[in-house]
Structure 1
Amino acid sequence: MVSAKSDAPIREAASALELPFFRFDADALRIRDVNHAMSSALGYSTDALQAMTLEELLRPEEASAFRSAIDGLGDRFTDVGLWQLRRHSGEWWQVEIRMRSPGGEGEPGVVAIVQDASRLLALQRAHDKLARRLHERETTLRLARHQLGVGIGKMEIDSGRMVWSDSADDIHGVTSEDSANDLDDYLGTIHPDDRAAMLAACEAFHASGAPHLEMSYRIMRPDGDTIHVRGVAVEEQRGDHAWLSGVFQDITDEVRAREEISEALQIRRIAARLARMGSWRVDLDPLRMVWSRETTAIHELPEGSTPSVEEGINYYAPEYRKKISSLFHACAKAGIAYDEVLQIVTAKGNRVWVRTIGEAVRDEAGAIVAVQGAFQDISELVAARTDAEDLSRRLHQTLDSISDGFILLDHDWRFLFVNAQAERIVGRSRVELLGRNNWEVFPEAIGTIVQREYERALESGEPVRFRVFFPPLATMFEIDAEPTPEGLAVYFRDVTQEQAREERLRLLEAAVSRQGDILLITEATPIDDPDGPKIVYVNEAFVKRTGYSREEAIGATPRILQGPKTDRAELDRIRRALEKWRPVRAELINYTRSGEEFWLELDIVPLADETGWYTHFVSVERDITERKRAEEESRLNQERFRLVTQATNDVIWDFDVVADRQWWNENLQKLFGHDPAQIEPGLDSWKNRLHPDDRDAAVASVDTLIAGSDDFWSGEYRFRHAEGHYLTVFDRSFVIRDAEGTAIRMLGSMIDVTSQREMENRLRQSQKLEAVGQLTGGVAHDFNNLLTVILGNAELLASELGDQAQLRALAEMTATAAERGAELTNRLLAFSRKQALDPRVLDVSGQVQSMEDLLRRALPESIDIRIVRAAGLWQAEIDASQLEAALLNLALNARDAMPDGGHLTIEMANAALDDDYVTTEPGLAPGQYVKISVTDTGEGMAPEVLDHVFEPFFTTKEVGKGSGLGLSMVHGFVKQSRGHVRVYSEPGEGTCVKLYFPRSDGMDAQPESDSAGSQIVGGGESILVVEDDPMVREHLVASLIGLGYKVEAAETGPQALELLQDLPGLDLLFTDIVLPGGMSGRNLADEARALRPTLKVLFTSGYSENAIAHHGRLDPGVELLSKPYRREQLATKVRKVLDNG
């Protein structure tokens, strides 16, 4: 009992602080004692916990580590880290545990105090975010300090010891070794007239308890200069010592910067004091909210207040209540975390800016059991943000007054800031620049050193300095680019004159060192004299190459070298550059004293004296005659190239980009009918013949190629033939560029791909029809199931309502409608090529001839019908009934196209389709075919209608007069018969539909006939029905029982096989082909016959899906009853299979 007494103060203290407390046996980890806070937090009773061990509460993988933590305990409380304890609800509780070993010999158990770590973790996350923001503020201050020359100093108040930053030493004009070490040394650097005022200000600051000390005074530097500084300091307590820490700035020329530094210090101090962060938790079942003391204090409520969730939401300002309610409920229901800055109205009516964070708490099963988060008063941070914006404004004002150009770019290269000097240098107002992309405003800089260096600065985080000449502004810039958190700070200044002087010196040195170059120096004025500046110096190379002696050249002008072929435009360009005192490079034909032509490359540079006055032009001239001869040889080679292009079948073209001259080879006339000698000379010869719909895209792509850096281009477009029609061409070209990367020439070839594209379009159309067929086949299957039930029930009703004429008529009307629906699904199946055909070798002529009476009854007398048969007509393997349906469809379409009468001709002939023809028809094989042509003299069809005639449900007829499936059915039937169909039509000229069926060499087949003695009633035979559709299955079972059969039913193949084991006398398996469960009707039949080889099988389906029919033709020996069917058809087919199968 001694130990219990010794633990009593600890237990009482823990309970008073509402901290969970427990004591346990160190060896067995048996819990000896717990307080109410511990049992409440874990959800167990005190007795239940005292009957448990810690191993039942700890995660299994943490038990060993927990024992190790016990081994190192002493008699003082030790933090043993973060652990997870299992609550009674099953969720894990994150806690921090402090423990000590028994207090004395015989004292039972280790004493432990527990603290909820979830709140600490939330506080840590909030603290980390606050630290990141503080780091951003400090980065901003460092940038301001770098930009504005701010120094930092600290003084220990009691000892007077002082510490200075490097920038502070720079302002004082001393090194770190010579900087003031204490207050007395520092007072010696202050101007005598300012010392007393400074000391008085310091004493008043210390006595008044003011938040900071601000003063201005003068410093005497060791070099004799006296500067004005302004300082701001605050008193800080660090450990046992008080410090005066501050910053100061040289404000001799920038007085206004003092306010900015003060604001920066204020922001930093505010950021350093950010605090007041609490936590909260809402348990969802039962609904209970708990606030920490800090959260309660932020709401200005008494400590221990426990508002409800609704009351907590109502503390938010009215304009934010709906938002916080939506965020909280989304987190509670869907686990969507939130992090928002909103305003609350405290219990005392004060508006406070807060940052609220909410996250879902889940149990082991993943269910959301609570929502918890952090709550922080950020009113001071919001105020600090406002102050920072004011500091930014003042910093912009300072940057606006500096002599260099200054811009700020963000990470997307948009202008954030442009000072007045930058506006003047680039000739653009900040209104034009702010918010726009730098590379859009100055596209000439793309790909230059400017872009490369800017990107290198951002990627490396290091400042860069470089020089670049920018042609659009005719200016040489020196640029300093320094990365910032926002992007890139760029300083630049005009160094054109400085660079020009360096360039002149470089050229002079090069001229002296290169013995073979001509050096010619003239006076700089008078530049506007008709004869030009006079020559004052020539070197020996000039004398040797021109034949003029020094005496003849000096005093003359460079015009003595000019002659008939000297380019006057180039001379004018040189003059314009020299008038602006700019260096210039040119190539000219000059003449020797004897009249010989030779080419010179000139580099001319203005030369200034020490005062900056331009006195001479220095020209370094190189003989490039041989190079020009080589270029002429290259031109001759190009001519030879043109001759070679005549040997190809492609259209070869050559475009001189500089001169805008286009050349074509003779194939332009062969392929497109245009005479190259008569066509326009420039690129317009190509542009003007592009199809209007293709012109903009093709021209834009070529313009982009010329302006860019790529060397290859290809494109496809339509090009007009001389006869007016357009051909599809594939064009590819290569670009030749000069040494500077400028496009000077393009070579390319054009290929006519019209036929190839037409074939590809037909293939795509075929694939599209195949995809639609897959869809329509599935629809027909489900529809047939419904029609089977409707038709069967309608027949049953009609037979049962013999003396009720009105109801019987309704039943017969239902049956007729179901049959019409069946006809519609048969057309869908024909289009999708999923109907099971029964083809026979037919005498096509006789079959068509037999339809003449049917056609005359179907068509009005105003339409003249002619059937034309060619001699020696071949036979074809065709489903006769489907052929009749197809021809009747075509005849009815012809009737509708000839409302006022006309001629319908059905013509049969033999046809041979060769390789050239079938290459344009995907899936068609060459060979011999029987052709049936159906031609009318009706209204015809436009091309846009003709493109869609085979698509299901496409019709040009009025609503209710056409299903849009007629030609779709014809197309599907012919394709399923391995044939081919083509439609020819023009508006006002009628329509011709040609059907091609493969020739067959087989013998005529005789149609099967039912046995005269077949009975359509059952004789008590046993039938197993397998059908997955419940309605169809119920109807079929009832019908078969009504016909006198014994019937069992199953829904899937596996169920049917199980029943088969228990039905020894089974006579017939009647199964649908398409079944669920992974086993089709065909698979079921194979399994059943393996068990009972003599079992008879009858299939039924809306369509076969190739299970019993391949390429639309029934497999030999297969019996199929297609849905929907009448009761008589069912009886006949079942009887036939049982009697003959």
Structure 2
Amino acid sequence: MASPNFEIFVPDFIKNSTVYFAIVTDLEGVYQYVNKRFQARFDFLGSDFIGKSFMVGIHPDDHLICLETVKSCLAHPGRIVPVFLRKPVKGQKEHVWSHWEFSTLLDENQVPLGVLCIGHDITDAEKATRKAQELAERVETILEEISDGFLHLGVNMEIRRINSKFERLFELDRKDILGKSAPELEGKGFNENLLQKLSTIFLENQLAVFEEFLVPSKKWVLITVYPSNAGLTCFIRDITEEKRRKAHIELSENKLKAVYDSTVDSNLLIGLEGEILNFNRVANETSLRTKGKELTLGSSIEDFLPEDSLEGFRENFPRALEGNQVQIEVLRYLRGVPYWFEVSYFPVRDASGSLMGVAMNIKDINARKLTELELKESQGMLNAIYNSTSEAWFFLDKELKIKSSNKAAKLLTQSLLGRPMTIGESFLDFPHLNSTKEVASYLKQVIAGSKINFQKFQDSRWWDILMEPVFDSERSEIIGVSYIMKDISLMKENEDRILKQNELLKEITWYQSHGLRRYVANILALCDLVINYSQDSEQEREEFISMILAESKNLDSLIHKIVALSSHADLRFEK
């Protein structure tokens, strides 16, 4: 399957942005797309990021944070996950601080394709924060220089310090609020939700980042809160423009999702009045080939359809608007050559469930049609294989009538009946190894879903009988029985031969493991007695030697017996 074109998931204004970074990675974390802003800012890492691991541009200490963010993103495909990451600066030990938003890219089947990452440089704000913490004597100047709003709350939530940006965002004058408790200003810039979040952060003593809507200025802000023993230090960034752009991205994603969730070929999203809302690259190329002009948003789809397609469109488009899914096959002649297409119409609804238009998909199925012809040819080959097996094979319907049988089955019935059984004849008319009543009982169990396999000795031959249910193409219903008979006489003969050999080998093994060991043990013990005999008992020594000779004769006799047994055992297996 061809790799997806990840670039189509990135809106044009992000691609050409001079503010925002945009990258797309696949599920393996490999760069598949970077925008011009990202390439220009980090070109010292390499002239081409595509194909490299996205970790090359991330501070090593932030690798784990980045991986956890990706995991969270993939676990919640519909959610945008924010994260702060450090990136390297050429020739310096410092790093660029950046804020990113990760979101999962999904294909038409809701299967994750990769991760879209939109970010921007927040190094200035981060540096300002550090200067504010390290250089207390310059804090007022620094805070006024930064582009973010600044708020410092004491341990009792009293307002100790703000900057001009904060005054503009909250529409408050510092001389009216410095020294006052933030809860006293509820309804005047500080809403209940914001006050609750600030109190929780102070109690938990954990850095937090969250978004808040400021009613007085009607601004969306991103608030970063640093708790300390001295209170809370807050940096407030105006993200109203980002919210607007994000909404634009989400709208574009919804349109793209509507198209690409429908099919993977030539796709168009058509509005309720027949106007073109969106289209993919293949659809535009098709229009250029067939009509000589590119598709344009807002134009009527009928202006771009071939003349011989208009009637079908006018018939099926209203049906899709009524909520029906329509799929038809269409034969076209391209330069005199017949060519098959599949045209589908799908109703498309927005997040609220309202009908927003129709997705039209045009799919090239010419290869599939040609394959169908090849399959017919292959069917003949399968039949040849079916008839070449030595097993007698019958296919019976649920009434136990013969629907099909192979060549071996016909020869078997010919030898037993004097004629081959014909299609439609009852299988119970066949002389079976078991009684007809027993066979009928077996077949009834198979039709109920059981599988039966047994072996039977009849007329000096062994037979293996296998009965299995046959299902339809969707395996939802049993449509008959597969009945297979196989002559296994040779296999049985070999089994009997092997069993006899095994018995003889067991006997030989017993003699070797028990008989030989006994005589050898006795001889060794007697030899030890001879070696250690007393000089005063020569008669005893001679008795030991006589006993050794006797045990040796016993041992020799047993060895002759083992050799005799082995000579009678045919240890070769002939297939």
Q: State the TM-score, normalizing by the size of structure 1.
A: 0.22
Q: Give the structure, 1 or 2, with the largest relative contact order (CA under 8 Å, sep 6 or more).
A: 2
Query: Whose Rg is larger?
Result: 1
User: Please, what TM-score do these two structures have when normalized by structure 2?
Assistant: 0.37
